[in-house]
Structure 1
């Protein structure tokens, strides 16, 4: 099995590193709000650029080669609790790199500036 040759512990450590690095990079972006940062959560980060619809954000960053999911993610009651209609969601796995996290952060900065 491919994952066994890499080692599940190494994969988990890599994903944890990416998640922590992404949180650090995204927290530095003005008007970006991260939803959920509980210890032990997986390498999936839901966020919004306040005042900009998630679908608009995803479309703009997609044109820069960065893919995220946008919508309710089957979590409408939770989004209602947070007072938002939709979020963007970035997922990181064993195949992702810190450079891709940097690309996400840079694309989000451009989207934020684009929508003013």
Structure 2
């Protein structure tokens, strides 16, 4: 099950996601800035995501592209993958505590089968 955890509350973002991924995201599969008292880097957004998915931290994976999101995922006790989609130095994401780092989504996609096999989800 996929849960989208975003620090955004922008309606346009939700519209774009629902347009790009019809049927994948609805209120029950999203945690937004409006749902939490403390956003990233606090673990609350990801803890709420775990609750919505009905899984434990050791049954989930976080994929993040920002240091605060990496910190939040790790604080929630979730295996956290960083994808450096921006201009950050890799060290920033590594210092935030990610378990793995990829330089783009294509790298992550190529490695995905081995990741799943290795962590046995």
TM-score for the superposition, normalised by structure 2: 0.24
Bigger Cα Rg: 1
TM-score for the superposition, normalised by structure 1: 0.25
Of structures 1 and 2, the one scoring higher in RCO (CA 8 A, sep 6+) is 1
